[in-house]
Structure 1
Amino acid sequence: MTDTIRIATDALSAEFSLLGAEMRVLRDEAGRDLLSDGPREYWTGRAPFLFPIVGAVNEDVIHVEGQAYPMAKHGFARKSMFTLIDHQPAAATFRLESSGATRAQYPFEFRLDIAVAIEGAALHTYVTIFNPGDEPLPASFGFHPAFRWPLPWGGTRADHRLVFAEDEPAPIRRIDTANGLVLPEPRATPVEGKMLAVRDDLFVDDAIIFDELHSRSVRFGVPGNRMIEVAFTDLPLLGVWTKPGAPFLCIEPWQGLADPVGYRGEFRAKPYVVEVAPGASHVLNMTISLKN
């Protein structure tokens, strides 16, 4: 079995690795690359899945019933081997299940299914967090696709914009760059109406975090040209990130957030952590589509 799984329609194609179930390639109908190629000098990720945490946790541990468990930034799923459950010409499903290795970091039983499907020029991703255990399962999850900046449809980096579905006047949150945790003070939003002019200096202090977001979709590209739309009906938060000068922009719908500065409480008590009842599932979805 190859560890690269390809799905496609005439309008869009994508390739995934069994390592992390990560999308490694996304191309339009002309074969033009839309996803970062992972430049080593900036960030080698392309579109990892973040589970069971999003961002960093204080002192790199989570607390469960008073006991500390080691947990690296963004969790372990992105560095875990998934099993291919199903593969069709335009769809695939990947699975990660709890094991001795995961329980040493995250003492819960879980099953994480990631199903991807292309319909026309839209890539749908459905994430199912299933709890096979007999106690509530606390979890966070995040998407982290890195799109080429500039995109291959014309215009310079400086011409690119994020265009939100709704006006976004609310303050944003920022990260303490010393430890990766969320600062307590909100900051004024750089969005003007629905529009954010993306530029390198916005990301000197790490990601821009929208935690009072009205929009459930955002478009990226040069207005008037073809754009990428990211829709995320089930996720309350959005992170936008790059490293200054990098040839990509990450648009990251999240169900979860880094620890607040100084947080030492229980993992399940953190804001935006969901609890999945025994025998139940929690489903999240994101759609990436090309919009002319």
Structure 2
Amino acid sequence: MPQPNLITIATAQLSAAINPFGAELTHLRDADGRELMTDADPAFWTGHAPLLFPIVGRLNGDVLRVNGVEYPMKQHGFARRSLFTLVEQSATHAVFLLQDSAETRTAYPFTFALRVTYTITDATLEIAVAIENRSESPLPASFGFHPAFAWPLPYGLPRADHRIVFAEDEPEPLRELVGSAISSGRRPSPLQGRTLALDDALFTQDALIWDPVHSQSVRYGASTGPQLRIDFPDTPMLGIWTKPGAAFVCVEPWHGIADPVGFAGELTEKPGIFTLAPGETRHIAMAITLEI
């Protein structure tokens, strides 16, 4: 399938380009055109900022269960592999829509609408997601953001000088992964105070997972110079991930998580799932602000 044209929105301080395939943020650039997102080097990972719906993480055996029926579902769900419809656009905002179809119902037997609105105001990009249950029965789902930011940022400071600073204390140990599943164990937190000094060695066992996360924002950047503030008021978990040696780091606000080791229950029993009543809409947002 030919790739659709990117949709660009901008102010004088910030510009964003979104791919209708996945409604995925693909470029985020400052006033001088410097790229703040991943270089998407295929040697590491070609994603940019996929939207994770209706699951976050991987299911055991890539199988989802609803009322005793098994459905195939790949890691992080199908939204990132779906073509959204551009339903509204102006110079500073764009709205994308994904609705259920015969294809989505082969993996997820629910009637839904997933609306994603990108808006730039000054130096802030807001991504506002609305998940609507159009079924006559409850709709179980998860949702997550997965943006990959340039590491290092394009301001001439070394990769080793970059860190992520949490807004609040995060005293608990982190979730531990076994393969792609969540184990019952925990790993020690690598934070020094509220600061995560970025280093490839942190990611040899995959993502760092705060569950719960107490902060609703973090700042990412070098110890001096421009920073990115990432706000996530609606998500109770946070993943931070890269592949060692890659030129990106992902800051991933999640409302959902991978299956626990050995989990074989119904989707409604899966950790991190929320359930929408018929006609209900869940709003989940994040914002990225360039602070010079």
Q: Output the TM-score relative to the length of structure 2.
A: 0.98
Structure 1 segments (4+ residues) deviating >2 Å: none
Identify the residue that residue 195 of structure 2 maps to in structure 1.
195
1:278 and 1:207 mapped to 2: Cα distance? 34
Separation in 2, partners of 1:187, 1:174: 6
Ranges in structure 2 where 5+ consecutive residues have no aligned partner: none
Matched, 1:231 2:231: yes
State how 1:115-134 maps to structure 2 within 5 Å: 115-134=117-136
Residue 139 of structure 1, CA deviation: 0.6
Tell me which residue corresponds to 1:283: 283
Do the aligned partners of 1:171 and 1:212 also contact (CA within 8 Å) in 2?
no
Q: Paired residue for 1:3? A: 5
Aligned to 1:266: 266
Instruction: State yes or no: 1:184 paired with 2:181.
Output: no
Q: Matched residue of 2:80: which SS?
A: helix
Q: Take 2:193 and 2:185, find their aligned partners in 1: how far apart are those partners?
A: 22
1:25-74 residue CA offsets vs partner (Å, 9 max, x unmatched): 11001100000121100000001100000010000001101111000001
Find the residue that maps to 2:185 and give its secondary structure: coil
**1:207 matched to 2:207:** yes
Q: Is 1:66 the equivalent of 2:86?
A: no
Contact 1:169 1:192 in 2 (8 A): no
Q: How far off its partner does 1:2 sit?
A: 5.6
The whole-number CA distance in structure 2 between the counterparts of 1:218 and 1:97 is 32
Aligned to 1:250: 250
Quote the RMSD (CA, aligned, Å).
1.1
Deviations 1:220-253 (A, max 9, x none): 1112211111100010000000000000000000
How far residue 20 of structure 1 moved from its aligned partner, in angstroms, is: 0.2
Match of 1:275, as an amino acid? T
Cross-structure match for 1:82: 84
For structure 1, list consecutive stretches of 5 or more residues without a partner in the other structure: none
Partner of residue 20, structure 1:
22
Distance 2:66 2:5 in 1: 34
The aligned counterpart of 2:113 is 111
Amino acid corresponding to residue 258 of structure 1 in structure 2 = A
Q: CA, structure 1 residues 131+33, in 2 after alignment: closer, same or farther (shift >3 Å)?
A: same
Equivalent-residue separation in structure 1 for 2:26 and 2:49 (angstroms): 7
What residue in structure 2 maps to residue 160 of structure 1?
Answer: 162
Partner of 2:42: 40
Instruction: Give the whole-Å Cα distance in 1 for the aligned partners of 2:106 and 2:67.
Output: 14
**Aligned-pair CA distance for 1:3:** 2.7
Question: Normalising by the residue count of structure 1, what TM-score does the alignment of the two structures yield?
Answer: 0.98
* CA drift at 1:6: 0.3
Rounded to whole Å, the distance in 2 between the matches of 1:288 and 1:237 is 17
> Structure 1 residue 131: deviation in Å?
0.7
Aligned residues with identical type, % of pairs: 49
Aligned to 1:240: 240
Matched residues, number = 290
Displacement of 1:122 in angstroms is 0.3
**Do the aligned residues in 1 keep the contact of 2:6 with 2:17 (CA within 8 Å)?**
yes
Q: 2:199 corresponds to which letter in structure 1?
A: R
Q: Deviations over 1:127-146 (max 9, x none)?
A: 00001110011010010000
CA contact (8 A) 1:71 1:105 kept: yes
